[in-house]
Amino acid sequence: MSVLSNKIGKSYVMTSALISAAVVLLISITLLINSWDAITNVGWGLFSFNWNPSTQEFGILPMIYGTIAVTLIALVIAVPLGIFTAIFTSEILPTKYRLSIKSILELLAGIPSIIYGLIGIAFFSIWVQDIFDLQSGRTILTAGILLGIMILPTVITLTDDALQNVPSSYREASKGLGLYKYEVIKNSILPIAKSDIIGAILLAFGRALGETMAVMLVIGSIDKIPDSIFNWLNPGQTITSKLGREIAESSYGSTHFSTMIFMGLILFVFVLLLTFFAQKKLSHSNRLYE
C-alpha cells in the first residue's frame, strides 16, 4: 500500500510540474505569436524613443526606462530597510514577540494594490509636490517610493526566513568564541545567509517589475525619457502602467496591439530570468545547510 501511495504521490508531483511548465511555455508562445507583427513590421524601431500610434511610431524605450528607474528606486528603499528589519525580528526581538510582529508586517503584503495607489495619490504625491515645489507630484520618484513600500513585506519575510534557516549551532559557536551580538550577525549569520538574501531581493525585484495599478495611478503616464536620466522628478511610464492604460484602446490584430503584447513579452522574459536566478540562489543556499 505504501509503495502504491509513493507512486501516486510521485506521479501527482510530476504531473503538476509538467502542467506548470506547459502553462509557462504556452504563455511564451502566445505572447510571441501576438507580438510577431510588431517584430517583423516595426523591427528595431521598437527600441526608439518616440511613441505615437497615429504616425505608426512605437518606440518602447521610454517604458523600459521608466520600469528600470521605478524598480531601482523601490529596491534602494526596500532592500536596506527590509534587511535591517528582518535582522531585528530574527536576531534581536524576543522570541515571544517575533511571530506577532512578523504577522503584522506580512499583513502589508495583503493590502490590494489599488489601496496603495490611492494612498500614493492622497499622500506621497502631495508630499513630493510640496517638498520639491512641483506642479504635480505624480512622478517617477513617487512611483518608486510607493513601490518600495509595497515590496517591503516580501524583502522582510524572505530575509527573515533566510536568517532563521541558519543553523543555531553557528550562533552558539560564535558566542562561544566571545563575539558580541552584532559581530555574530555581521561575521557569522549574514555571510551564511547571503545567497538566500540575494534570492529574496531578486524575487522582490520580480514583484516590483510586475506591479501595475498603484504605479499607474502615481507615475504621471508621460511616454518620454527625461532630459537627464536621473531626473526622477518628471512624470514617466512603465511597461505595466502603459499596458494597463492603453491595451484596451488598441485594436486586436493591429500593430499597436502587437507592440503592447511585445512589451508584455519583454516583461515576462525578464521576470522569468529573475525568478530562475533567485531559485538557483535559494537552492544553492539550501545545499550549504545540508
- Do the beta carbons of residue 117 and residue 214 sit within 8 Å? yes
Q: Which of residues 174 and 156 earns the better pLDDT score? A: 156
- Average pLDDT of the chain? 84
Q: Could you tell me which residues come within 8 angstroms of residue 74 by beta carbon, excluding any fewer than 6 positions away?
A: 144, 145, 147, 148, 150, 151, 208
The rounded distance, in Å, linking the Cα atoms of 96 and 263 is: 47
Q: Domain 38-289, what fold?
A: MetI-like fold (1.10.3720)
E-strand ranges in the chain read 51-52, 57-58
Q: What is the DSSP letter of 219?
A: S
Q: Please tell me the predicted confidence (pLDDT) of residue 287.
A: 52
The rounded distance, in Å, linking the Cα atoms of 282 and 171 is: 21
pLDDT in tens, 222-277: 888 888 888 888 998 999 888 888 888 888 888 999 999 999 999 898 888 887 77
Band (65; pLDDT cuts 50, 70, 90): very high
Q: What is the DSSP letter of 225?
A: -
Residue 73 has pLDDT above 90, yes or no: yes
The rounded distance, in Å, linking the Cα atoms of 157 and 202 is: 13
- Helix and strand numbers (H, E) in the chain are 12, 2
Which residues is 220 bridged to in the sheet?
A: 236
C-alpha cell at 266: 519583454
The rounded distance, in Å, linking the Cα atoms of 231 and 44 is: 27
Q: Which of residues 3 and 173 earns the better pLDDT score? A: 173
- Fill in the amino acid letter for 14: M
Mean pLDDT for 92-116 is 81
Q: What is the DSSP letter of 108?
A: G
Q: Provide the percentage of residues in the chain whose pLDDT is more than 90.
A: 20
pLDDT in tens, 188-201: 888 888 888 888 88
Q: What is the DSSP letter of 256?
A: H
Q: Please tell me the predicted confidence (pLDDT) of residue 81.
A: 92
Domain ranges of the chain: 38-289
Band (75; pLDDT cuts 50, 70, 90): very high
The rounded distance, in Å, linking the Cα atoms of 162 and 200 is: 8
Q: Please tell me the predicted confidence (pLDDT) of residue 253.
A: 81
Band (141; pLDDT cuts 50, 70, 90): very high
Give pTM, 2 decimals. 0.86
